[in-house]
Chains A and B, each alone.
Chain A
Amino acid sequence: MYGLDAISAHNGWQLAALGTSIVFTGLIILSLAISQIHKVLELWDERYAYYQRIKKFMQIKHRSEATVSDPVLPKNVKESARQFKLLIDQMGEPFSLPKLLDFSKKCGLLHSHSSVNDLLQAKLIIPDGNGYFFWNHDVEKNIKISTKTSS
């Protein structure tokens, strides 16, 4: 048996089709990989920036996890939190800590410095890394939950 008959008898057409599809699939994968090389190179060039970003993200995540796990605060801190939250709502976020202190003094709050320190220690006030601060709503929620359960 020779020629096309032999090819058909020994699954030649199927093998040829399979071979072609394997080669073309390989070529497609290769071309896709080559087209994305610029992204890999960019990632490599910016690896320190990405590393810093991931590190910062992990720190923030770790910080929020730590704050959530410790929601129990003294009563006076809860009262300070309530008062300072009102002031921060007026000021907007992120807010300046010295301006918050000035504002609290003008409003007649007593021991505003130590109260702000209590809120910092309780992680209710957290730095944004740029010299300004945020109110930590996660911790605030936990305080509210703990107040409800205790009453």
Chain B
Amino acid sequence: MSVDINIIDSLNLFEDISHAELEEVASLMRRIRVTEGEVITRQGNTANSIFILLSGNFMVFFKEGRSYTLHNKGDIIGLSTLILPFYYTGTAVALTDGDVISIPGQELLRLIESNSALGGKIMKKINQIISARQPFVTGRC
């Protein structure tokens, strides 16, 4: 299912992006329905898609049982898709039914590389999220 540009326009990740750039990003997106208990990323698997929450509640957990939960529209799962070595560092599971936007990692990376201004804006936001979540991954909270 394709994604309405008005939906992604309201997301924090894309707030600094122009309408033309948004259309480019939206063309890569697919809306997916997830059900309670469904695993959307698995730790150690190749990170091939990044997910943006539209609705529902999710838990991301790591080795040694550390975890955090995501409940807000615009929260992101699968950031490893954009970072070497492209393996998911956590397992994400849906706590309730919900909707997510899926973006294929390879295509998003290609877009970021081809459009440095757009790439810079997206990566800036993503780096902020990564630095906030890094302690959960490394266990150095």
- The answer to whether the Cβ of B136 comes within 8 Å of any Cβ in the partner chain is yes
Looking at the complex, which one of A101, A114, A117, A132 makes contact with B66 (CB distance below 8 Å)?
Answer: A132
Instruction: Please give, as numbers and ranges, the residues of chain A lying within 8 Å of B62 by CB-CB distance.
Output: 131
Instruction: Please give, as numbers and ranges, the residues of chain B lying within 8 Å of A101 by CB-CB distance.
Output: 59
- The answer to whether the Cβ of A130 comes within 8 Å of any Cβ in the partner chain is yes
Instruction: Please give, as numbers and ranges, the residues of chain A lying within 8 Å of B135 by CB-CB distance.
Output: 130-131
List 14 A–B pairs whose Cβ atoms lie within 8 Å, in order of A's numbering: A96-B65, A97-B59, A97-B61, A98-B61, A113-B96, A114-B36, A114-B95, A117-B57, A120-B69, A121-B71, A127-B68, A129-B141, A131-B62, A131-B139
- The answer to whether the Cβ of A111 comes within 8 Å of any Cβ in the partner chain is yes
Dominant SS at the B interface?
Answer: mixed
Cβ contact within 8 Å between A97 and B93: no
Looking at the complex, which one of B36, B91, B141 makes contact with A130 (CB distance below 8 Å)?
Answer: B141
Known: A111-B36, A113-B37, A131-B136. A96 touches B96 (CB 8 A): no
Cβ contact within 8 Å between B67 and A131: yes
Known: A98-B59, A98-B61, A130-B141. A113 touches B95 (CB 8 A): yes
List of 7 A-B pairs having minimum Cβ-Cβ separation, nearest first: A131-B66, A96-B65, A117-B95, A130-B141, A98-B61, A97-B67, A113-B95
Given contacts A97-B61, A101-B59, A132-B65, 5 further A-B contacts (CB under 8 A): A96-B64, A97-B67, A99-B65, A113-B37, A127-B69
- Whose C-beta in chain B lies nearest to the C-beta of A115? B95
Cβ contact within 8 Å between A114 and B141: no
- The answer to whether the Cβ of B82 comes within 8 Å of any Cβ in the partner chain is no
Looking at the complex, which one of B36, B67, B94 makes contact with A96 (CB distance below 8 Å)?
Answer: B67
Cβ contact within 8 Å between B37 and A131: no
Known: A113-B36, A114-B36, A117-B57. A97 touches B96 (CB 8 A): no
- The answer to whether the Cβ of A143 comes within 8 Å of any Cβ in the partner chain is no
Instruction: Please give, as numbers and ranges, the residues of chain B lying within 8 Å of A139 by CB-CB distance.
Output: none
Q: Mark A106-121, 1 if CB is under 8 A from B, else 0.
A: 0000010110110011
Give the Cβ gap from A26 to chain B, nearest Cβ, in Å.
Answer: 49
Instruction: Please give, as numbers and ranges, the residues of chain B lying within 8 Å of A131 by CB-CB distance.
Output: 62, 65-68, 135-136, 139, 141
